[in-house]
């Protein structure tokens, strides 16, 4: 263990340095946004390749065990940098259309990515909390980015109040875990659980508070109530960031906190049962609620917010199956990578499709799109099919992986419930496709505005979603090698 | 009565609950933010007390981190409250109901 090992921490140093450069550029050149945008994209590219160069690194802890450099952390960093590049390139025209193209967007996105990637690297509950706040504070600001629009402000404030309260829950839980185990180091807590055969009440309350805070971040029912409002009020590009980058980070957090103790250790059987039944409850409620409420939505952002609650349910099923066999964790990563790609694509495309500024896309706006713009319709179709989990898309591979993992872990009943929800979800996602293809064109409806670069980005994401669905083998093999260290 | 180490623990839990009640039952956004600060400070008290019980300085260091983060969070939150006040002319959470099903 070393205090600092500069080489290994390099990707995070590059990202941090890039944040400062972008911040300075956004301050000195206020009339044009290009320098900040280019600086942000360059930073993300450099970080991407630095992280890619460290793929397969042996697990090393830095800063007295607060941060851990591992393949897992690098995988998350690579994924988040890729998503960040998509948003930095793909949403500039949308932001201009809305009149909110400030340079601050780019450094806020970079800070958010730094926080999210450090959440995957943190091995100490306090470092994890700091990463969580580094992620949350830019997220609050970004949600309120349309600062002259009261809906955006309201969404930001709701998110802020809920997020801060749950941040305080996390902290209180963290203090209790510290009180029970004498350390906030995750490895030390894990070892404590192996040596201590009787879970203390103090630890149980603390761990539950930590779990509540994290399940709030992923919006599992009954902690979901903020999600539709925040998704609707936020600018569309930011909704995309919430649905992809923040979801990835939050689920990484859930996995870390759930796996804080050794459930196979002697004396922890009843606690493992309790955690499993809570996860089952959360999964079933999220799946059912998300599937049913999404059916009646007419605003596309709200529709995808409720469907995101449903996706949280599938992912919770993955977390549940990883409790029995920790190699099942790969299913969560497969699902998360596919889901984050398709939600990034769908929200970038939605930003380009909005009929006028200051309005979300309503379902009705898509009517007859096929006649006006076949390529755009195909891209929409790919994303919607992937969300529904049709074969040959990334969404299908994710659901397949989660269901296989669930059956492996003996959760057959819950896999059957999830499969029923897939059927209900299919109606939600295929209805827009039917509207686009079967109805006549409506002159008032959605356009495809956007620069060539941002249109290309949407098409490329659609191709990536199909590529993951057609050739998943190599990709799954790589992900199976990734394991969490304790 | 002699000071004992369980006393600050009970106090911390009480302060946390008072803060939570403040967030849930008060309608003024600024008071709600004060409630959040109370909850964070209750966690600080808990950290410092456990630090004393375990005879380790970890918890005291944590409380300094928490103060820094609480300040950053309050800065972001106050900015959002001001932006909201500019558009809606109110800081009452009951009158903020544009987004709902």
Task: Write out pLDDT tens, residues A165-197.
Answer: 999 999 999 999 999 998 899 999 999 988 887
* pLDDT value of residue A5: 56
Q: Which residues in A86-125 are b (16+ Cβ under 10 Å) and which e?
A: bbbbbbbbbbebbebeebbbbbbbbbbbbbbbbbbbbbbb
Share of chain A above pLDDT 90, in %: 56
Beta carbons within 8 Å of B10's beta carbon, 6+ residues apart? none
Could you tell me if B77 and B58 are in contact, meaning their C-beta atoms sit under 8 angstroms apart? no
Of the two residues A45 and A2, the one the predictor is more confident about is A45
Q: Which residues of A are less than 8 Å from B96 in CB distance?
A: 154, 157
Contact A158 B76 (CB under 8 A): no
CA distance A269 to A177: 19
A60: three-class secondary structure by DSSP:
strand
Q: How far is CA A481 from its chain centroid?
A: 21
Contact A130 B19 (CB under 8 A): no
Element containing residue A39 per DSSP (H, E): helix A34-53
Over residues B52-72, the pLDDT tens digits come to 999 888 889 999 999 999 999
Interface test with B, best of A175, A181, A201, A303 (most B CBs within 10 A): A175
B82 pLDDT band, cuts 50/70/90, is very high
Point out the residue among B56, B80, B101 whose CB comes nearest to the CB of A140: B80
Point out the residue among A129, A148, A178 whose CB comes nearest to the CB of B87: A148
Of the two residues A28 and A73, the one the predictor is more confident about is A73
pTM of the model: 0.93
Q: Is the pLDDT at A2 greater than 60, yes or no? A: no
Domains in chain B: boundaries: 29-95
CA distance B69 to B36: 12
CA distance B15 to B10: 9
Q: Is the pLDDT at A481 greater than 70, yes or no? A: yes
Over residues A310-357, the pLDDT tens digits come to 999 999 999 999 988 888 889 999 999 999 999 999 999 888 887 766
Interface test with B, best of A166, A169, A171 (most B CBs within 10 A): A171
Region B16-37: mean pLDDT is: 93
A442 pLDDT band, cuts 50/70/90, is low
* pLDDT value of residue A445: 65
Asked whether this complex has an ipTM greater than 0.90, the answer is: yes
* pLDDT value of residue A1: 41
Domains in chain A: boundaries: 10-480
Q: How far is CA B78 from its chain centroid?
A: 14
Q: Is the pLDDT at A368 greater than 50, yes or no? A: yes
Could you tell me if A212 and A163 are in contact, meaning their C-beta atoms sit under 8 angstroms apart? no
Q: Is the pLDDT at A4 greater than 60, yes or no? A: no
Average pLDDT over chain A, rounded to an integer? 88
* pLDDT value of residue A108: 93
A424 pLDDT band, cuts 50/70/90, is very high
Instruction: Give the pair of three-digit tokens for residue A138.
Output: 């830019």
Q: Which residues of B are less than 8 Å from A144 in CB distance?
A: 80, 83
Alpha-carbon distance values, B35 to A162, A171, B54, B83 (Å): 12, 15, 29, 20
* pLDDT value of residue A6: 60
**What is the topology classification, in CATH, of domain B29-95?**
Helix Hairpins (1.10.287)
Q: Is the pLDDT at A3 greater than 60, yes or no? A: no
Region B69-80: mean pLDDT is: 93
Of A139, A131, A168, the closest CA to residue A156 belongs to: A139
Contact B76 A140 (CB under 8 A): yes
Of the two residues A165 and A9, the one the predictor is more confident about is A165
Point out the residue among A153, A161, A168 whose CB comes nearest to the CB of B83: A153
Element containing residue A101 per DSSP (H, E): none
Point out the residue among A148, A153, A167 whose CB comes nearest to the CB of B80: A153
Please name the residue ranges forming H helices in A267-393.
269-294, 300-324, 329-353, 369-372, 374-388
Alpha carbon of A326: minimum distance to chain B alpha carbons (Å): 31
Of the two residues B15 and A10, the one the predictor is more confident about is B15
Tell me how long chain A is: 486
Q: Is the pLDDT at B99 greater than 90, yes or no? A: no
Over residues A209-231, the pLDDT tens digits come to 999 999 999 999 888 889 999 99
Instruction: Give the pair of three-digit tokens for residue A205.
Output: 């309350």
Point out the residue among A130, A137, A169 whose CB comes nearest to the CB of B65: A130
Q: Looking at residue A246, what DSSP letter applies? A: I
Closest residue on chain A to B77 (Cα): A160
* pLDDT value of residue B69: 93
Cis peptide before A222 (omega within 30 of 0): yes
CA distance A170 to A172: 6
């Amino acid at each position: 263990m070393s205090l600092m090992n500069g080489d290994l921490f390099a990707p995070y140093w590059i990202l941090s340095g890039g944040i400062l450069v972008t911040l300075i550029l956004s301050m000195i050149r206020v009339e044009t946004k290009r320098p900040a945008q280019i600086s942000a994209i360059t930073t993300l590219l450099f970080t991407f390749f630095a992280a890619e160069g460290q793929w397969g690194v042996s697990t090393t802890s830095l800063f007295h065990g607060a941060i851990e450099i591992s393949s897992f952390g690098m995988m998350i960093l690579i994924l988040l940098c890729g998503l960040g590049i998509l948003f930095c390139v793909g949403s500039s025209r949308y932001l201009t259309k809305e009149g909110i193209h400030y340079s601050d967007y780019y450094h806020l996105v970079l800070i958010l990515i730094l926080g999210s990637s450090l959440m995957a690297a943190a091995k100490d509950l306090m470092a994890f909390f700091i990463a969580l706040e580094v992620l949350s504070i830019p997220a609050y600001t970004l949600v309120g980015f349309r600062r002259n629009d009261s809906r955006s402000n309201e969404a930001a404030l709701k998110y802020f109040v809920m997020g801060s309260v749950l941040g305080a829950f996390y902290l209180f839980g963290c203090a209790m875990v510290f009180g029970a185990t004498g350390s906030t180091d995750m490895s030390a807590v894990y070892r404590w659980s192996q040596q201590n055969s009787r879970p203390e009440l103090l630890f149980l309350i603390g761990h539950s508070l930590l779990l509540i805070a994290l399940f709030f971040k992923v919006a599992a029912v009954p902690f979901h109530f903020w999600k539709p409002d925040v998704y609707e009020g936020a600018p569309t590009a930011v909704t995309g960031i919430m649905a992809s980058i923040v979801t990835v980070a939050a689920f990484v957090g859930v996995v870390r906190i759930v796996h804080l103790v050794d459930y196979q250790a002697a004396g922890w059987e009843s606690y493992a049962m309790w955690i499993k039944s809570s996860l089952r409850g959360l999964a079933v409620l999220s799946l059912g609620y998300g599937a049913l409420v999404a059916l009646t939505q007419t605003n596309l952002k709200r529709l995808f917010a409720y469907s995101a609650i449903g996706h949280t349910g599938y992912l919770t099923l993955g977390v549940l199956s990883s409790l029995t066999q920790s190699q099942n964790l790969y299913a969560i990563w497969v699902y998360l990578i596919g889901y984050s790609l398709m939600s990034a694509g769908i929200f970038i495309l939605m930003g380009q499709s909005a009929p006028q500024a200051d309005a979300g896309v309503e379902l009705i706006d898509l009517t007859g799109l096929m006649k006006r713009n076949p390529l755009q319709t195909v891209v929409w179709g790919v994303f919607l099919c992937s969300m529904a989990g049709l074969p040959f898309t990334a969404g299908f591979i994710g659901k397949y992986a989660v269901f296989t993992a669930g059956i492996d872990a003996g959760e057959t009943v819950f896999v059957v419930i999830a499969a029923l929800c897939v059927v209900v979800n299919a109606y939600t996602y295929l209805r827009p496709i039917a509207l686009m293809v079967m109805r006549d064109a409506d002159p008032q409806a959605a356009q495809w505005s956007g620069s060539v670069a941002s249109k290309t980005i949407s098409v490329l994401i659609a191709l990536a979603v199909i590529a993951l669905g057609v050739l998943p083998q190599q990709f799954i093999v790589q992900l199976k090698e990734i394991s969490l260290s304790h | 009565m002699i000071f004992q180490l369980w006393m600050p623990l009970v106090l911390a839990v009480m302060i946390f609950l008072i803060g939570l009640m403040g967030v849930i039952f008060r309608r003024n956004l600024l008071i709600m933010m004060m409630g959040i600060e109370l909850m964070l400070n209750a966690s600080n008290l808990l950290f410092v007390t456990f630090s004393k019980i375990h005879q380790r300085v970890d918890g005291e260091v944590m409380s300094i981190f928490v103060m820094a983060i609480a300040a950053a969070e309050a800065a972001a939150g106050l900015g959002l409250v001001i932006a909201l006040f500019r558009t809606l002319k109110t800081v009452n959470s009951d009158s903020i109901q544009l987004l709902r099903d």
